[in-house]
Amino acid sequence: MPERLVFISHAGEDTWIAKQIAREVADCGGRPFLDQADIDIGAEFEDDIRSFLDQAHELIVLFTPWSLDRPYVWAEIGAAWLRGIPIVVVLLGLTPADFQSRPNTPVFLKKRDMLHLNQIDQYLDQLRERVDGGRDNG
């Protein structure tokens, strides 16, 4: 069974937090993709992002006050949505009501369960089960 690829979408201001999430994903046996860690300096940034998103099994999007207006975050969500892969919304500095009340938030995101960053262990436990289940079947 191939690795469980997890794309982590975030704003540049949230890089440190995104790196911690990536470390936790790796500890669960997943393979995280984080732009700062996985794209070489001088590489075709958009091509690398698109290539990994084409292969990813799921997307974690870290929504903070900084990421709400970042075009790349929304483009990455759109790509994941079109592929039909799970999109895990993690909030920091926002409540679900704050996020859902934004007029530009797509309905398909408003309907999802959202986690506060302090609840991410719930997601990580499920990821670990998916990774372990894939190993048993592979």
Per-residue pLDDT of the chain (138 residues; tens, 9 = 90+): 468 999 999 998 999 999 999 999 999 999 998 865 444 445 455 666 777 889 999 999 999 999 998 888 998 999 999 999 999 999 999 999 999 899 888 888 888 889 999 999 999 999 999 999 876 544
pLDDT for 51: 78
Q: What is the pTM of this model?
A: 0.86
Cα distances from 14 to residues 63, 77, 105, 111, 132, in angstroms, run 9, 17, 20, 24, 29
pLDDT for 2: 62
Q: Name residues whose C-beta falls within 8 Å of residue 70's C-beta, 6 or more positions apart in sequence.
A: 11
pLDDT for 26: 95
Q: Report the candidate in 11, 134, 27 with the shortest Cα–Cα distance to residue 68.
A: 11
pLDDT for 96: 92
Parent domain of 120: 5-137
Domains identified in the chain, total number:
1
Cα distances from 96 to residues 30, 106, 117, in angstroms, run 27, 14, 12
d(CA 53, CA 80): 7
pLDDT for 39: 42
Residue 3 Ramachandran class (φ > 0 left, ψ -120 to 50 alpha, else beta): beta
The CATH number of the domain where 78 resides is what? 3.40.50.10140
d(CA 80, CA 106): 13
